[in-house]
Structures are given as structure tokens and as C-alpha cells.
Structure 1
Amino acid sequence: MNTNLERYMKFSEAMKYLNLKSYQSLHKFIDDGLRVVSVGDTKRIDQRDADKFMEDHKSKEETK
């Protein structure tokens, strides 16, 4: 994945990193367990958490 971004990504950066087109898609990922780092009013997504989330959600079956 893209390592040019900071480890703790703004939501817009996380969308680019995960190749998502909308905030709704990102919020669905968050609802499905993607972790968010919150400090005061600031929210970030750790690249490592994004990678783990994607790895954990890989299909067990081979797609054709």
C-alpha cells in the first residue's frame, strides 16, 4: 500500500489509502470494525489498523 502518507491518516487520506470513493463507505468500514484514534476533536485512522482490517476481511474462498 501507499507508504507516502503519515501513519495516522485523516479520514480523507484513509479513503485514498483504502481506495474508497465516499465517506459513507469509510463509515461502513468503521461500523464493521475499522478502528479510529480519537484525541479531543481529532480523529485519525492508523495505517496498520487499516491493513489489519483489510487482511481480516479477506474472503476465505478464492474469487474467480
Structure 2
Amino acid sequence: MPGYFNYKQAMAYINIKSKTTFSKYLANGLPTIKVGNSKRIAKSDIDKFMAEHRVVAPQDK
């Protein structure tokens, strides 16, 4: 598995099919690396972002 993903690979890694939904992740702080016209996202940044946004659902009693 690569250390850096293009947007399509990043979407597949976190199982998102909608570009609109992915744009919301970016707007909420998912870090992007940009060099020239190339944009990449580090796998470690995705893992950290997802962990920081983890919400535990309340348990039904």
C-alpha cells in the first residue's frame, strides 16, 4: 500500500464513492499535499483524521 494517495485512491481507501462527500472531508481539515498541479494525501494523515473524528454511538439499553 502506498504512503501517499491521489484523490481517487484516498476515496477508495476510506470507502467513499461521492466526490461531494470527499470534498466535505477536505473542508473539515483532511490535510492535502500540493506540489505544482499534483495533489496527494498521506495515508498517515487519513488515519489520523479518521481517528480524530471518531464518534462513539450511544448504546441502546
Q: TM-score range by the shorter chain?
A: 0.7 to 0.9
Task: Find the counterpart in structure 2 of residue 17 from structure 1.
Answer: 13
Task: Find the counterpart in structure 1 of residue 47 from structure 2.
Answer: 51
Matched position secondary structure for 1:58: coil
Q: Which runs of 5+ in 1 are unaligned?
A: none
Aligned sequence identity (%): 36
1-structure distance, mates of 2:51, 2:18? 21
TM-score normalized by the length of structure 1: 0.84
Q: Which runs of 5+ in 2 are unaligned?
A: none
Compare CA radii of gyration and give the structure with the larger one: 2
Q: 4+ residue runs of structure 1 moved beyond 4 angstroms? A: none
The residue type paired with residue 38 of structure 1 is K
